[in-house]
Amino acid sequence: MIIAIPAEEKSLDSVISVNFGRSPYFCIYDTEKQQSTFIDNEAAGRPGGAGVEAAQNLVNQKIDTLVAFRLGDHAAKVLSGAKIKVLKAVNLSIADNIAKVLSHSLEELNEVHPGGINKG
Amino acid sequence: MKIAVLSGKGGTGKTLVSVNLAAVADKGGYFDCDVEEPNGHLFLKPSLIGEEEVTSLKPVVDMDRCDGCKVCVTACVYKALAYIPGELMIFDEICHACGLCTYLCPQQALKETKRVIGTIRRGGRGSLSVHTGKMRIGESTGVPIIKKLLKKLDDDLSIIDSPPGSGCLVLETIEHADYCLLVAEPTMFGAQNLALVHELTRVMNKPAGVLLNKVEDGLNPSELYAKEHDLKILASLPYDSYAALESSNAELLVERSEKYRTFFLELLKEVVDEATLAAQR
């Protein structure tokens, strides 16, 4: 299983970014290899469409599960279309959240907020 | 003469000034370009003559042709597209209808169809025509609505009520204007936004003057800005709770008070004179 988590810093001790589409980094964790990598979120600086782009990039990474605090409806649609499970993050480090995914103690994230729209 | 009324910051009195100028002119056209929340019609109460829809193009996909190459997804500047196995998702509200995806698709799987993004209402109030653009909630841009709204600009006299800010919508609004009347309030924030729209008028080579609104005793940062930047102050309106109350009841000040009728008649003359002078330069 491959897990993605929006990260404030490139470290397993980092807190989870409150934002999905504009998170600075994503932690990608491969449970079989027990390996974590951190990727830059190319969508972070976008005025609009950040959620869609970030979701597309995670689909390309072939992740199975996303752990996040909140999610916009556009991103949610892309992720659910790609059958990616979205779990509700708890206010702990990335490493602790990964442990909670593995012990099945995170709830599913069901509520989404309206996606941000560029008012340019 | 086409006069655009703008301010940068919202709530400085663009619509108050626009509708009262249009009402004392009693000819030509009033154009409400604040398509996200047009409210000039509440004051002018026009009879409705006609309503038309504004459409924008949107891409639709033929999944039998799409081979999932993601050329469109990568190319889209606004990130309105996503590809998941078996499905190309298109987010209409993010799409700016630029047509790039359709143009680039190697499989010709995309084509453009029309989609309603807003409406235009045209009406009348005596000899004044009243034009209102309204954007559908959730749309990404009202630019096509403003473009269509301003096709009926009256060369004799048009008062163009701009949206707030200094972005794409305002740029579109003042493109055809002969003169820009900048409405500014006496706050630091007001002065900052005055500076932004003033810069926009300079970039677009539009002559401009300022109306100081809600003026009170004491320091006026907008007045200081105007003086420092050689921006002509056409008039000052003192803060007046009577004016605020009448406006909150959607009343036209020029119909309720002789003092305001005189003020706006003089302002109209001043603005038209300034615009005429600028056109001769």
Residue B82 pairs with which residues in a beta bridge?
A: B89
For residue B194, pLDDT beyond 70: yes
What is the arithmetic mean of pLDDT over A60-74?
95
Cβ–Cβ below 8 Å for B82 and A43: no
CA dihedral B6, B12, B18, B20 (to 10 degrees): -160
Q: Answer yes or no: do A49 and B89 touch at CB < 8 A.
A: no
- What is the pLDDT, as a whole number, of residue B96? 87
Q: Tell me the chain A residues in contact with residue B94 when contact means C-beta distances shorter than 8 Å.
A: 48-49, 52, 74, 115, 117-118
Tens of pLDDT along B17-75? 999 999 999 999 999 999 999 999 999 999 999 999 999 999 999 999 999 999 999 99
Using a CB-CB cut-off of 8 Å, the residues of chain A touching B37 are none
Q: Which of B51, B56, B6 is nearest to B33 (CA)?
A: B6
Q: Which CATH number is B2-54+118-280 given?
A: 3.40.50.300
For chain A, domain boundaries:
2-102
Question: pLDDT band at A116, cuts 50/70/90?
Answer: low
The domain limits of chain B are 2-54+118-280, 63-108
Of A46, A81, A117, the CB nearest to B84: A81
Residue of B nearest to A21 (CA): B79
pLDDT in tens, B75-133: 999 999 999 999 999 998 888 889 999 999 999 999 999 989 999 999 999 999 999 99
How many Å lie between the alpha carbon of A95 and the closest alpha carbon of chain B?
28
- DSSP letter at B229 equals T
Residue-wise pLDDT for B227-240, tens only, equals 999 999 999 999 99
Superfamily (CATH) of domain A2-102 = Dinitrogenase iron-molybdenum cofactor biosynthesis domain (3.30.420.130)
- Contact between B89 and A77 using a beta-carbon 8 Å cutoff: yes
C-beta atoms of B84 and A78 within 8 A: yes
Chain A partners of B78 at a C-beta cutoff of 8 Å?
Answer: 48-49, 118
Of A56, A119, A120, the CB nearest to B82: A56
Under DSSP, the state recorded for A91 is S
Question: Which of A48, A53, A120 comes nearest B168 by C-beta?
Answer: A120
Domain B63-108 matching CATH 3.40.1440.60: the answer reads no
Facing B78 at nearest CB: one of A55, A59, A118:
A118
Residue A6 has, within 13 A of its CA and on its CB side, a CA count of 26
Supply the ipTM of this predicted assembly: 0.86
For A79, list phi and psi in degrees, rounded to 5.
Answer: -65, -45
pLDDT band at residue A112 under the 50/70/90 scheme: confident
